[in-house]
Amino acid sequence: MSILILLLVVLIVVLGVADIRRNLITKPVFGLFKKILPPLSDTEREAMEAGDVWWDGDLFQGKPDWKKLHAIPKAELSAEEQAFMDNEVETLLKMLDDYKIVQEQRDLPPEVWQYIKDNGFFAMIIPKSYGGREFSAIANSTIVSRIATRSLTAAVTVMVPNSLGPGELLMHYGTQEQKDRWLPGLAAGKEVPCFALTGPEAGSDAGGIPDTGVVCKGQFEGKEVLGIRLNWDKRYITLAPVATVLGLAFKLYDPEKLLGEKTELGITCALIPTSHEGVQIGDRHFPMNMAFMNGTTYGKDVFIPLEWIIGGPDYAGRGWRMLVECLSAGRGISLPALATATGHLATRMTGAYSYVRQQFGMAIGKFEGVQESLGRIGAYTYSLEAMRVMTAGAIDLKLSPSVVTAIAKYHMTEMSRTLLNDAFDIHSGRAIQVGPKNYLAHGYMGMPISITVEGANILTRNLMIFGQGATRCHPYVLQELEAAANPNAEEGLQQFDSLLMRHIGFALGNTFGALWQGLTLGRFNSSPVSGETANYYKQLSRMSRALALSADFSMLMLGGDLKRKEMLSARLGDVLSHLYMASAVLKFYEDNGRQVADLPFVRYSIERNLFEIGKALDGFFQNFPSRVVARLLKTLVFPFGIGYKMPADAITQEISDVLLKPGVIRDRLTHLCFIGEGDEDPTGLMESAFIAVHQAQPVMKKIYAAQKQSTLPRKIPMDQLITKAVEIDVITEDEAKQLVRMNELRFSSISVDSFKPGVLSGNAL
């Protein structure tokens, strides 16, 4: 006992006396820290410091405050925004024929272009003072989603000017003169913008672009002015073929030191009229055969005045941070909107098709194999809608949550890819024949575009989510990095000493907290609610603690090598991502009044999230370089093993059953899906057939009863069966007409397009 007391006293003295602690602990650790976590480069620092920490910070630090989550305002459309949805958006949708746009015209019709420009579709984010609509992020997202269920080409055309580009950058960083010059024209549709970042040898990583600008003197409007001589070669630039104003990202150099002492100023963004001498708009691309405008631009020795830098000369070299912060719009609004649109369309149409299409004498939706896929489609769509609303809501809080939007971009596009594959499996041959009746084909063709743009998904998952989360969301790491980079060694040591003590306390708290929660299975965690979802909050709190512990150990053991251990860091990123996704679902459920009918969707979503968290942590433990540490961590987090499982089949079937019948729940889940008027539109036809088959069921029951009694034959064509049923008074003439109409709709809805030889000559396919 005396030895333990002595050790405790020594520990208190070592930790409590500043001089002793600094010499025995802080200095050695500080030296080690500087070796394993070298100071960030300027580019890395700007990326890490850009954007805001939001709910992701709570999740990463191991103690999520669920009341704080519930207190976040519900994202909703204003009356003005809803009116725009009900009028201008609906008018636009009726003007679109996506098959003709993609397969025949290879562009939006001129009248559609004009309608979009005249009615402010390019002006959603521009303030009213400049003639814009000044809509919220949730309105922007909802409008793009709704349009995308009708036409991906139209949706992309609308979303790009309202995403990363001249308008977004001007509003955040532009000079007053630049705003006055460009924003009114952009709002009125007189100016069409594009933003050129990607090049032949550099994707969304602006740090690797070869395009250059050199500060020099040159002629502009007959005068010698200080400016930039540009050389660039860009590709994959959406709207480039029709743009009148080009946003350009390049590396800026000042070899003559005309602006100051630095010769390498860094990434810079400028705004250039495409009519400016030397600006070249090159060939057009066709991304996955879609018809939205996309192409190349290049220029050689193009001289522009310094005032064309977005933000003016003071923003020379500050483009990287500008881009990282503004990428949140693309990652948090546009791409999640497209992903959610895929879910709304696939859910409504696949549910209808599964009921209308019959095999072996019954609807294919009654087969368990189909129910498995259909249930996943419905549950994923619920999660997608929850994430769309919560993420856009964050942007409406005037935040730029870079980690959250990276999570949304990666996981929402991957989920939409999965559910679209499921929809194709269920539709089978109905889905693979391209033609006017196929409402899934163009979305399927365009899916890889969302996976690729705004940072390819491999990059987003393996480098961005945990890479930024580890430094931005951790309460001490970024400050410790800054202390290590302090040129004043003594001052840096003092800063580090204070941070280290708090970090040790944080780590110890997570260690013992994770063990306690592992031993108790999280049962004693608090929950802001009671009832069905209470345990989900408790388990998510437990896994949040597990993430905090695992992240600390991985950074301590691996240091700077962690960012090269992409498979390991990606798994921790998956844990953070699924914690966020589950949070979004729980908040969505609460915000919508805790609807009992939503519970199967909530159960499926959260149980899947917990399963994926367990799977990610298990993979992390299995592959962690130090086997001793790996075993320790797994014992702390899962002392009794990983108990999380995928949702039970019964939950999947509950969801599937919802999608197989008309009702409020189905309408709510797919409220953004465009349904055409009349039977000429493929979505309208499928919906009409679906309703008709349901309405005909009382009459069909009479037929089935007669067949069971052998009064009517079983295996004859439907038209003959109806005629026979009328002849023997099983059904009335009016009921027969109802069945004939139902059968016509049913057969037409499951039919596919075919074309006579030569009909497609000159078309895209």
Angle at 481 between CA 477 and CA 486, to 5 degrees: 145
Residue 602, helix vs strand vs coil? helix
Tokens linked to 57: 């910070």
Report yes or no: 254 and 260 within 8 Å, Cβ to Cβ. yes
The Cα–Cα gap between 533 and 66 comes to 12
Nearby residues of 691 by Cβ (< 8 Å), 6 or more positions away: 662
Q: What DSSP letter does each residue of 54-100 carry, written as one string?
A: -HHHHHHTT---HHHHHHSPPP---HHHHHHIIIIIHHHHHH--HHI
Active site residues: 454
Angle at 40 between CA 39 and CA 46, to 5 degrees: 150
Tokens linked to 376: 């996943």
CA 501 to chain centre: 38
Report yes or no: 60 and 548 within 8 Å, Cβ to Cβ. yes
Nearby residues of 31 by Cβ (< 8 Å), 6 or more positions away: none
The Cα–Cα gap between 192 and 194 comes to 7
CA 204 to chain centre: 16
Question: What's the one-letter identity of residue 365?
Answer: G
Tokens linked to 518: 């592992």
Indicate the DSSP class of residue 309: B
The Cα–Cα gap between 571 and 573 comes to 5
Question: What's the one-letter identity of residue 361?
Answer: G
| CA neighbor of 461 nearest in space, from 390, 547, 403, 392 | 403
Residue 469, helix vs strand vs coil? helix
CB atoms within 10 A of CB 547: 30
Q: What DSSP letter does each residue of 388-410 carry, written as one string?
A: HHHHHHHHHTT---HHHHHHHHH
Report yes or no: 381 and 347 within 8 Å, Cβ to Cβ. yes
Residue 273, helix vs strand vs coil? strand
- Find the helix or strand (DSSP H, E) in which 232 lies: strand 223-238
Name the burial class of residue 605, with classes exposed (0-12), middle (13-18) and buried (19+) by CB atoms within 10 angstroms of its CB.
buried
Tokens linked to 237: 């630039």
